[in-house]
Copies of this chain bind each other. A is one copy, B any other.
């Protein structure tokens, strides 16, 4: 569709900065022009118009760490000690999840994400052939990277799943779906398998991807304090310098790795992450809820490491709300470091947009509003008491906006939500399907 979005304040997150009474022109899936409304009106008189007068247009937010399927567990268990939470609640539940449950859970998360202005989600879960997260994202129209999570105990299964995932989905759905190889974590993937997954990734990239559209890695790293010890215990390895050094010694770290969490880091670790160009996905809400600790984000940024933001799963958050993640990010590091100048609003907004895109190696296409990029946009209404008065759009976006202020969302040039109505799926039906899936799942769980 050819569209001219006119009259809004465009927060480009690109070289044009903020354009007041600005406009964005979209042809098919691509932004072809960004400028002032009056110029754009003259240049493109016959384009279908979206009136964004008085509204704020931002690049769609990028959620760099999610397990989309897990919405079925939202609020299922909170406030437990970590081990009890996992062993008595999360894992038994997940063991009963079918491909269909994964698909339905991901549908629900995709809808929630879009309703909160998120247009790209990097998700790690189990890939199954019959039903999966990729199908759900494609159905709703959400851009995403769909991973298959790998464990030492199912190498054969993983190999087939990765091959299938890459072949069927990488670069598909008009380029909105990409895939990733997701070693779960150092303590669940043995060193040999970790290296093997590198070889598999190279192989898959050769067969199904290209340098501008790579198959990346997505993993958990340095989430909890005892990760090194757990890894030593799991695989009989020993190492002196912590988990990052160990991963580096395996030769698996690189610019294509999205490492979720990175809470427990030494200065040496940060240098290694920088040297290897590893991208960090920071999940402040999940890290607080699971009591993992507080990631040294200011130091990571000082070390020039790219830090993106993620919600983590709907059962460790319990929202897919990137505005909330941005507010937590901006505030948490000020507070614990006793420095109110840390993580200023604009920097945090970059982390959720252009730096998120960089983390996913997708920044030539998404993360900012610039001619030539894909049209992934969120339009917000600021004419509300809680966003009034207005001094700075960026301040409001970080400190005052709620997910519900997002009115319209465009992904890859397609209007997916308009005036808060999702256009691609019936939201009530998604909710009904999720509820039925949950009920059946609980029946299976309790009849074991």
A→B interface (CB under 8 Å): 71-72, 74-76, 78-82, 85, 108, 111-112, 115-116, 225, 285, 287-294, 317-321, 324, 327-328, 330-332, 334-342, 344-345, 383, 385-386, 388-392, 395-396, 399-400, 402-404, 427, 430-431, 434-435, 438
Contact = CB atoms under 8 A, between A and B. Distances in A.
Contacts of A339: 291
11 contacts: A74-B388, A74-B391, A76-B391, A288-B335, A289-B330, A289-B331, A289-B340, A291-B337, A319-B399, A388-B435, A389-B435
Nearest to A263: B335
A108 B317 CA distance: 30
B340 A388 contact: no
B386 A340 contact: no
A397 B379 CA distance: 27
A78 B290 contact: no
How many subunits of this chain does the assembly comprise? 2
Contacts of A430: 385
Contact of A75 (B289, B319, B395, B402): B395
Nearest to A436: B389
A386 B82 contact: no
A383 B75 contact: no
B291 A321 contact: no
Contacts of A390: 75
A397 to B, nearest CB: 10
In the complex, which of the residues A115, A335, A385 has the most CB atoms of chain B within 10 Å of its own CB atom?
Answer: A385
A331 B383 CA distance: 30
Given A75-B391, A75-B400, A400-B74, A386 B336 contact: no
Contacts of A82: 340
A290 B340 contact: yes
Which 9 pairs across A and B sit closest by C-beta, in order of nearness? A288-B335, A404-B404, A288-B331, A75-B395, A79-B344, A291-B340, A318-B399, A112-B385, A291-B334
A319 to B, nearest CB: 5
A79 B289 contact: no
A81 B335 contact: no
Contacts of A116: 386
Contact of A291 (B335, B345, B383, B391): B335
A219 to B, nearest CB: 22
A401 to B, nearest CB: 9
Given A111-B385, A288-B335, A319-B399, 13 more contacts: A74-B389, A74-B391, A75-B400, A78-B345, A108-B385, A112-B385, A116-B386, A225-B338, A288-B331, A288-B332, A289-B335, A291-B339, A319-B400
Given A293-B335, A335-B288, A399-B318, A340 B85 contact: yes
